[in-house]
Amino acid sequence: MLQQVNGHNLGSDGQARESLREDLQEFLGGEVLLYQLDDLTKVNPVTLETVLRCLQSRYMADTFYTNAGCTLVALNPFKPVPQLYSPELMREYHAAPQPQKLKPHVFTVGEQTYRNVKSLIEPVNQSIVVSGESGAGKTWTSRCLMNFYAVVAASPTSWESHKIAERIEQRILNSNPVMEAFGNACTLRNNNSSRFGKFIQLQLNRAQQMVGAAVQTYLLEKTRVVCQAFSERNFHIFYQICKGASEDERLQWHLPEGAAFSWLPNPERSLEEDCFEVTREAMLHLGIDTPTQNNIFKVRRKAAPLTFGRDDGPLS
């Protein structure tokens, strides 16, 4: 019995492959402008090649979001695109009668979940899963969603409500440099790779205004403290301490100038993430005062590679 696939009767695997090849050539060489396909479900036939060609065409046209049914595919532009995340654009998606009819965007996902909460008599928690490989832009996407909710989940008539939402957003954003310092590292594929998972919970009241937030971390790659792959680095915080500590702090923490540590490979690499002051400033904004910070860094020195990794013997 002959099978029918995409309108072709196939009597063998060879015929099926030939039919698929013809469909591919027709799709890729046809009149359809691939960058205009804003949903991958419109791609026909659906193969790895056609999907990647469609995403590549949209990327070349500076279009970085594409729907895949109910999933949003985001491509990292690797360049600033400020107009793509402006407050005006946030309000446009928030005010749209049907935001899904607008161009695919992370704001569409944010608005849909926000409306799901508003439309229910008994609000049900909504979840957004941001996943992807290292360097795909997960942290940036999470940051954009928080910015969006800080704008839309504030009362337009209450200055106090707006300031509360803004303050909550700022506290969450201030937590990023701290979590990245203690939980991110330079890998082969990404200079600022998160070596842990993060769950951010934004809390709304019955008027759908932001009133609180909580951040949980999990699955920290603890083994990286003592074992790093070739050409990779340990967690940022150790390099920040070594490069950013003052002379008095070096004496206090027993860090001789120019000392080398076997558990801190590739210290000569200079990264934007090596800024110790950014981490300390963020800790202050989170309510961690200077004496507490110093105690934390002392613990890091005693419990982490700084104590036992020096090439010419342990520090203490």
Q: Does the annotation flag 139 for ligand binding? A: yes
CA atoms within 13 A on the CB side of 132: 18
The closest alpha carbon to 277, from 229, 244, 299, 231, belongs to 244
Whole-angstrom distance, CA of residue 263 vs CA of residue 1: 65
Q: And the tokens for 145?
A: 């969603």
Whole-angstrom distance, CA of residue 188 vs CA of residue 55: 24
Beta carbons within 10 angstroms of residue 150's beta carbon = 22
Q: 234 to each of 197, 239, 257, 304, how far by Cα in Å? A: 17, 8, 19, 10
Q: Does the annotation flag 137 for ligand binding? A: yes
Contacts of 80 (CB under 8 A, 6+ apart): none
The closest alpha carbon to 169, from 212, 107, 217, 109, belongs to 212
Q: Does the annotation flag 132 for ligand binding? A: yes
Q: Does the annotation flag 16 for ligand binding? A: no
Whole-angstrom distance, CA of residue 285 vs CA of residue 171: 7
Q: Is residue 107 packed enough to be buried (19+ CB in 10 Å), middle (13-18) or exposed (0-12)?
A: buried
Q: Does the annotation flag 12 for ligand binding? A: no
Q: Does the annotation flag 138 for ligand binding? A: yes
Contacts of 99 (CB under 8 A, 6+ apart): 93, 107, 108, 111, 112
Q: Name the binding residues.
A: 132-139
Q: Name the binding residues for ATP.
A: 132-139
